[in-house]
Structures are given as C-alpha cells and as structure tokens.
Amino acid sequence: MYDKIALEDLLIVNMAHNRHLSKSILDAGWGYLKLHLAHKAAEAGRVVYRVNPAHTSKTCSQCGGVFETLTLSDRWVSCSCGLSLDRDVNAARNILKRAGHARWGLTYPAGESVLQEAPAL
C-alpha cells in the first residue's frame, strides 16, 4: 500500500553544531534510521525519497505562503488562506509535495534502487 517514503535529507552533522540541541540530535539516531529505512525499503521493493528540508515548517502547505515569524516554540501554524494545523503536520505535507506525492500507488520491483533525490520543483 505504501510504495514511496519521503523524508527530509537532514544534515545531521550541521545540526549537531547547535550546543543546546546537539546531544539530543545525536542521541536520536537519525542517520541510523535513514540507512535502516533505505535497507528495509529495498528489501520490500519500496522507494525512499530525500527532500530538501529548507523551510518545510515555515511554508504553508496549502498556499505556499511563508510564516516569517515562526520559532521552534510555535507548535501551531495559521495562514491567511485559512489553513490552521500543527506545524509538524504542515511540514509533513510539504515533504510529501516535494517528493512528488500526488496519489502514490505503483508497486516497484524488489531490489530497485530506493534512496533517491526528490524531483526538483
């Protein structure tokens, strides 16, 4: 049912430079998750798309407007277009869009190359 997986291509090493969050970032095991996910996806014949993480939270997933004043402590986004939802759900929608999500449904043969760059928008 879920043939494609989209995730942000986070630069974990750069994120670890934040002295307030570095321990939490490194403890989370994001690099391991990305590699393990790609391996399991290959076994199942699925594709993992890596998308550019820039502004996935700060962009309205409905109209494309930018939330200029959004901070990490803001957990809810509201846009003049009428969108109002959790910032993580908004980011997830943007990640799916960047990976080319329309209505995914094709099945890929097992063993196909699975870690791909998302198509450029």
More confidently predicted of 117 and 77: 77
Rg over alpha carbons for the chain, rounded to the nearest Å, is: 16
Apex 69 CA angle, 65 and 71, nearest 5? 115
Q: Would you give the DSSP letter of residue 3?
A: -
Query: What residues pair up with 78 in beta bridges, in sequence order?
Result: 84
Give the helix/strand (H/E) hosting 116: strand 115-117
Residue of 54, 56, 43, 50 whose CA lies nearest to 6: 50
Residue of 49, 80, 74, 75 whose CA lies nearest to 62: 80
Q: What is the pLDDT of residue 40?
A: 93
Q: Is the pTM of this model over 0.85?
A: no
Neighbours of 121 (CB within 10 A): 8
Q: DSSP letters of 59-115?
A: B-TTT--B-TT--TT--EEE-TTS-EEEHHHHHHHHHHHHTT-SS--PPPPTTS--E
Give pLDDT tens digits for 48-90.
899 999 999 999 999 999 999 999 899 999 999 999 999 999 9
